[in-house]
Structure 1
Amino acid sequence: MPQKIVKLTVKDVRFPTSLGQHGSDAMHTDPDYSVAYVVIETDGGMKGYGLTFTVGRGTEVVVCAVKALSGFVVGKTLEEIVGDFRGFYRLLTSDGQMRWIGPEKGVIQLATAAVLNAVWDLWARVEGKPLWKLLVDMSPEQLVSCIDFRYITDALTEQEALEEQMLTEGYPAYTTSCAWLGYSDQQLTQLCTDALASGWSRFKVKVGAELEDDERRCRLIRQMIGPDKTLMIDANQRWDVGEAISWVTSLAPFRPLWIEEPTSPDDILGHATISKALAPLGIGVASGEQCHNRVMFKQFLQASALQFVQIDSCRLGSVNENLAVLLMAHKFQVPVCPHAGGVGLCELVQHLILFDYISVSADLNNRMCEYVDHLHEHFTSPVVIRNAHYLPPKDPGYSCEMLESSVETHQFPGGEVWANLLAKAPE
């Protein structure tokens, strides 16, 4: 029976994580982890759930953009969409008028991701499979038919994409939860101790506020985890190019595997300069969580500006565009280590990393996925971590569905949590 989409709703859902400094870094000092939460419904009684991640103020703008896109979705059948998924992707991203406020970047791309994530979730639910299994079971021809190759054929053609092989195994994770910038040394020490006891061996530290503080915190973490475990550092776009090289050189004695987002996420040549300067120190450059689209990733790869590609489930245009980046990264032999955390990003990205390993890379050398231990309790199928590894999700869908009670109590500004907080706020 065809599944005709008859309704799309979107809600502004926010969690007051700034109260505990969770998620704090050198540029985002008081984030309230949030989502624009999308539900699509069909005349067959099926629902698909999608989201895009934000950090508080501005979520209402993404909600408006989702509403503006809803007209391209409501009235279509799921079979019509997935039968020409490349065409539907272009319909959303290339409308002759709406593309002006993008194209394929910023708020409109975040909204596109939320809508398409819901479509993918619906498709996987209709097929009765978790999304990663839906992708793995596709023929190569069907898989690449979901990808828009426009603007990237000079790096990857459709024919090259059809040559990928398939294998099967699991995926290691790294933790960012121990060392948010706003955490005290005592809190950092306790969280790191707990993580080590739980089997974690890969740790990321937020840096970029004060060099002396960074040196102290990196020294503390390195002493705790020992010489053989992996340390990464993340500046969240804090520095200019020259400053980044100087600052990271000062932190080189702590042997970080990579420096993440050392400068503007749009500065491809700047990242290339930093990569070249840090290579003799054995430090790579990682970026991608704020990379707008597949075209930017193409240029980062062509310029040898990244040693680690960090895709994001909601920054790019959903699964469709992430597939393009995974295939390009494989061609350029650059490991993919996705961005996660936030609200729902771990739940979503677990499907992409499993597909990447099973169907594309078949390689775990220097590959890992970020994990942040926040807000998973608000999902009907929360991510499962065991021995510092993501376990494959078993429930049908894209793991986007949130508990109705969480959505209602955290809806902004009228939900119970926010009504209480706003009532206590000073005039």
Structure 2
Amino acid sequence: MAHLTYNASRIRGLSVRDIRFPTSLQCDGSDAIHPDPDYSCAYVIIYTDTDFKGHGISFTIGRGTELVVAAVKSLAHLVVGKNLKDIYDDFAATWRTLTSESQMRWVGPEKGVIHLAVAAIVNALWDLRARTQHKPLWKLLVDMEPEELVSCIDFRYIGDVLTKEEAVEMLKEMIPGKENREERMLSRGYPAYTTAAGWLGYSNEKIEGLLKQFMSQGWRHFKLKVGQDLEDDKRRCQFVRELIGEERTLMVDANQKWDVDQAVSWMTELSPYKPLWIEEPTSPDDVLGHAEIAKALKPLGIGVASGEMFQNRVIFKQMLQAGAIDYCQIDSCRLGGVNEVLAVYLMAKKFNVPVCPHAGGVGLCEMVQHLQIWDYICVSGTTKGRLIEYVDHLSEHFKTPSKITSCHYIAPKVPGYSTEMWEKTLQSYEYPYGSQWKELFKEGKYRDPRTCPPPWVEHREAGDITQR
């Protein structure tokens, strides 16, 4: 099949939908900060004047998804009507346009709801690009010449740490052996760990059953949520350590729960259970706090892993500069899509910090496999000290879900970014009018926003809003 000719193609439209799953009913995804997440996403489809479409996702956890959807709609005019050639010939400029819209930037910039919206659009653009080239995204990235790939990155704010020239040289140094590394990803795959048994809301019985199931399948790396109650954490860590044995790896995740001193003292108490890392010990904006925690925990053999909630490449830059993280956890949606993620991988390479992506949410496993496989083939050249998070929740809603064999992600072969969802899923779980949500409202398991009046009254003449 011939490749799409960009010169003759343009984006004719963009749709965005609020897709939510009622995962809080089973405590799936629960942690010390987010006890009742409903895994969700803003789901973007980019339409061209051909048969090609691009599918993009930005992960959310329920309420607030409507804000991301609104932000996507406000940014859509920046890509709709554009020629694909103009977008992809200078992708860094396209990315900067999306992150620098003069009025929308004020409610960012490059962070929060706006950046999540940018991610959804940018991820859809990369999915579209990979589809038009008939390649999975990782292969598209691998086959790019170093100069072409680096041209996709906006180096503003990070040039003091990484220049374009340095980035190109990094990639050129890794060209030897690329074919062998690519074959390894296609045959053996990338090592993974699972969080699926470690949610904070799970009972001991459920944790034990899941751990035994995973161990029977060969899993050797497990993550456990902590941070709500110290004595309970000690009990749960001991319980899990005794189940998995000393030879398997345990990681723990506090999801930003603690102050700096509290993180150090809490993890000192948990150190006898030999966790490899503590993930998100404190505020994701506290660079110096992370550095202090990392320094204090190093003698205990505990690393600091973080990045799931880092706002942008600038925070990653500072964390790496300060030696504040031992494991760099990029998120495919928190950052502004693939372009910005590439920059973080290259900075992590310069600072010799392994990247272990955050995954597990709606579509995250599907996306990060592409990024980490590209990193192995073109940037790091190793899987040592590196793992991809894996949770199988909701994978059945994707047309090409991630494939796990012997606890390894196997490199996908289907063109695109693995982000396309089934139309039946979209119709069933679009909030609040999907058939599954209507049934949940009818059963009284969720408040129906279609019939419940809002808690405020808008006085249009006065122009103010008052509480009922």
Tell me which interval the TM-score lies in, with the shorter structure as reference length.
over 0.9
Match in the other structure for 2:326: 307
Pairwise CA distance, 1:223: 1.0
Pairwise CA distance, 1:424: 2.5
Pairwise CA distance, 1:423: 2.3
Which ranges of structure 2 fall in alignment gaps of 5 or more residues? 453-468
Match in the other structure for 1:29: 35
Q: How does 1:80-159 map to 2 (within 5 A)?
A: 80-159=86-165
Match in the other structure for 1:38: 44
Match in the other structure for 2:400: 381
Pairwise CA distance, 1:355: 0.3
Q: How does 1:345-384 map to 2 (within 5 A)?
A: 345-384=364-403
Corresponding position: 1:247 with 2:259: no
The one-letter code of the counterpart of 1:44 is: T
Tell me how far apart the structure 2 counterparts of residues 230 and 242 of structure 1 sit (CA, whole Å).
25
Pairwise CA distance, 1:378: 0.2
Match in the other structure for 1:257: 276
Match in the other structure for 2:358: 339
Corresponding position: 1:298 with 2:309: no
Corresponding position: 1:276 with 2:295: yes
Match in the other structure for 1:394: 413
Which ranges of structure 1 fall in alignment gaps of 5 or more residues? none
Tell me how far apart the structure 2 counterparts of residues 3 and 326 of structure 1 sit (CA, whole Å).
31
Match in the other structure for 1:212: 231
The one-letter code of the counterpart of 2:295 is: K
Give 3-state SS (helix, strand or coil) of 1:12's partner. strand
Aligned length: 427
The one-letter code of the counterpart of 1:103 is: P
Tell me how far apart the structure 2 counterparts of residues 63 and 403 of structure 1 sit (CA, whole Å).
19
Give 3-state SS (helix, strand or coil) of 2:38's partner. coil
Corresponding position: 1:20 with 2:26: yes
The one-letter code of the counterpart of 2:23 is: T
Give 3-state SS (helix, strand or coil) of 1:123's partner. helix
Tell me how far apart the structure 2 counterparts of residues 136 and 242 of structure 1 sit (CA, whole Å).
43
Give 3-state SS (helix, strand or coil) of 1:257's partner. strand
State the TM-score, normalizing by the size of structure 1.
0.99
The one-letter code of the counterpart of 2:225 is: K
Give 3-state SS (helix, strand or coil) of 1:162's partner. helix
The one-letter code of the counterpart of 1:318 is: G
Corresponding position: 1:415 with 2:421: no
Tell me how far apart the structure 2 counterparts of residues 286 and 183 of structure 1 sit (CA, whole Å).
23
Pairwise CA distance, 1:332: 0.1
Corresponding position: 1:178 with 2:197: yes
Deviation track 1:272-324 (CA, whole Å, cap 9, x = no partner) reads 00000000001000000100100000000000000000000000011100000
Corresponding position: 1:55 with 2:61: yes
Give 3-state SS (helix, strand or coil) of 1:341's partner. coil
The one-letter code of the counterpart of 1:19 is: L
Deviation track 1:94-130 (CA, whole Å, cap 9, x = no partner) reads 1222111111000000000000000000000000000
Deviation track 1:329-372 (CA, whole Å, cap 9, x = no partner) reads 00000000000011000001010000000000012121001001
Deviation track 1:40-91 (CA, whole Å, cap 9, x = no partner) reads 1100121110010000000000000000010001001222101000110010
Give 3-state SS (helix, strand or coil) of 1:219's partner. helix
**Sequence identity (%):** 61
Pairwise CA distance, 1:220: 1.3
Deviating above 6 A after TM superposition, structure 1's stretches of 4 or more consecutive aligned residues are none
The one-letter code of the counterpart of 1:388 is: C
Deviation track 1:234-278 (CA, whole Å, cap 9, x = no partner) reads 000010000000000000001001000000111110000000000
Match in the other structure for 1:326: 345
Give 3-state SS (helix, strand or coil) of 2:13's partner. strand
